[in-house]
Amino acid sequence: MADSSDIDNALIAKLGGDATLLALCPDNVYWDVAPPNATRFVIVSLVSATDTTVFDTRPAWEEPIYEVKAVMLKSANGDIKAAAARIHELLQDQPLTVAGYTCMTVHRNEDDPRIRYTERADNDPSILWFHRGGNYRVQMAVN
Amino acid sequence: MAILTGRYGEVLWDPTGTGTPAPVAIISLNAWKLSLKTDKEDVSCYGDTNKVYVPGLKDVSGTLGGFYNSADKTLFEAADQGTPGLLKLVPNSQTGEMANFWSGKAYMDADIDCTLQAPKVSGTFMAAGPWTIAP
């Protein structure tokens, strides 16, 4: 039985299982929000999701788009460029294995592919957070 | 009887055209359209207050659409056939509705449209014998 949440989990597991990425982002990979005191981590969020339906299978495939980004506190002195590059290396045109599905493609989204911005902390203007990564389109055929 | 969803539509094909074995559903389709248009001849005459027509022969044709699935090349095999197959079009294949369909012998043409998106297939068909509606 295909479960859409398993696609989310597989993406988190793939990123969290990579030693190179974890060396760059040692506070780990999280869905939507990181825990307090994390300063170098990866965030995965669901941007949108669509189902494509055919007569004999409902749906034929699922197509979520994920925002995947490295987030680093400026004072943590991390290499966010390398972290974003590693995320891209792990995901771009690489298969994602999920029970109940067959991977069709994983690639950076054609529209709005990149994420890169700096955020200033509301409570302290001297604190800066760097965000860098991309929006990745995943197409998974339902078995 | 009620208005039904099209999500459970079905397109079935028997390449032998005999119905034996029973037609098999073509997978990964999500659209079909059947056109039953009868030619009309204009027989309007002097003095008629509006145009008047008489019917000719009904033309049976239509289209299919969906996505390419390498597990089923029926549509393309059908397009290669020199002899007609039996086509069965079911608006809703759920229990109790499967008995409602159109069918008849048909010739098939096929197209595939491959872009960066999932490849789409489409087909056109035209009657090669009498078509019926069931029941």
Question: Is B28 near chain A, with CB under 8 Å?
Answer: yes
Sorted by where each starts, the structural domains of chain B and their CATH numbers stand as 6-134 (2.30.110.20)
C-alpha distances (whole Å) from A39 to each of A76, A120, B32 are 6, 14, 55
pLDDT in tens, B59-89: 999 999 999 999 999 999 999 999 999 999 9
Domain positions in chain A are: 4-142
CATH number for the domain running over A4-142: 3.30.2000.30
CA distance B107 to B89: 14
Kindly give the confidence (pLDDT) of every residue in chain A, 143 residues in length, as a single tens digit, with 9 standing for 90 and above.
889 999 999 999 999 999 999 999 999 999 999 999 999 999 999 999 999 999 977 778 999 999 999 999 999 999 999 999 999 999 999 999 999 999 999 999 999 999 999 999 999 999 999 999 999 999 999 99
Question: Is the previous residue joined to A64 through a cis bond, with omega within 30 degrees of 0?
Answer: no
* A93 shares contact with chain B (CB less than 8 Å): no
Q: Is the predicted ipTM greater than 0.90, yes or no?
A: no
With contact defined as beta carbons under 8 Å apart, do B75 and B85 qualify?
no
Q: Which residue of B has its CA nearest to A62?
A: B118
Instruction: Give me the pLDDT at residue B102, please.
Output: 98
Chain B residues close to A55, C-beta within 8 Å = 7-11, 25, 29-30, 66, 93
pTM score = 0.84
Nearest one of A21, A78, A73, A76 to A44, comparing CA atoms: A21
At A12-43, the pLDDT tens digits run 999 999 999 999 999 999 999 999 999 999 99
* pLDDT value at residue B1: 67
What letter represents residue A40's amino acid? R
Burial A60-78 (b: 16+ CB within 10 A, else e): bbbbbbbbbbbbbbeebeb
* A58 close contact with B: CB closer than 8 A: yes
Strand residue runs (E) in chain A:
29-31, 40-52, 61-73, 101-108, 114-120, 128-142
